[in-house]
């Protein structure tokens, strides 16, 4: 572990996994709209959203994707690591009241480059709503 509680690159092994869960609230959507300036009516206007293919309001895709960032920053590889890349494939909508579980699993560790690649998935009731791949720059104890 590094001095701020994250994993050093030497500590990581393929198959390691970590998760966080968060129930999406009305306040989360409103605050995310304010911070991101994404005020798409699909997220904020129920009357408009009823007429869309979703039949009602949905959470911002990037709000749900941010839970992946939370796992990476806080758990695996954790504090001290730096986000390098992220791919995302949105599979299904997330709605107010849904509990999103973001899970990352180490797929590859490249010690000499201090990088790791992790599979990332967000689920609601066991169904994938987002799938992706994360690349992180990690700390080392060989500095």
CATH value at residue 95? 3.10.129.10
Residue 48 lies in a domain: no
CA distance 98 to 127: 11
Q: In this predicted structure, what is the pLDDT of residue 143? A: 61
Residue 41 lies in a domain: no
For 75-85, the pLDDT digits (tens) are: 999 999 999 99
For 14-49, the pLDDT digits (tens) are: 999 999 999 999 999 999 999 999 999 999 999 999
Tell me the helix, strand and coil percentages in the chain, rounded to 5.
30, 35, 35
Residue 42 lies in a domain: no
Decide: 20 and 102 in contact? Cβ < 8 Å.
Answer: yes
Work out the average pLDDT over 109-130.
98
- The count of structural domains within the chain is 1
């Amino acid at each position: 572990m590094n001095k701020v509680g994250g994993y050093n690159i030497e500590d990581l092994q393929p198959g390691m996994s970590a998760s966080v869960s968060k129930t999406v609230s009305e306040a989360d959507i409103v605050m995310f709209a304010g911070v991101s300036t994404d005020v798409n009516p699909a997220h904020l206007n129920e009357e408009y959203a009823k007429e869309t293919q979703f039949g009602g309001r949905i959470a911002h895709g990037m709000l749900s994707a941010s839970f992946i960032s939370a796992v990476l920053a806080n758990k695996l590889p954790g504090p001290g690591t730096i986000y390098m890349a992220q791919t995302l494939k949105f599979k299904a909508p997330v709605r107010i009241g849904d509990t999103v579980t973001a899970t990352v699993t180490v797929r590859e560790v490249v010690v000499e480059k201090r990088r790791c690649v992790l599979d990332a998935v967000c689920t609601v009731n066991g169904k994938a709503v987002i799938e992706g791949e994360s690349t992180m720059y990690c700390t080392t104890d060989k500095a």
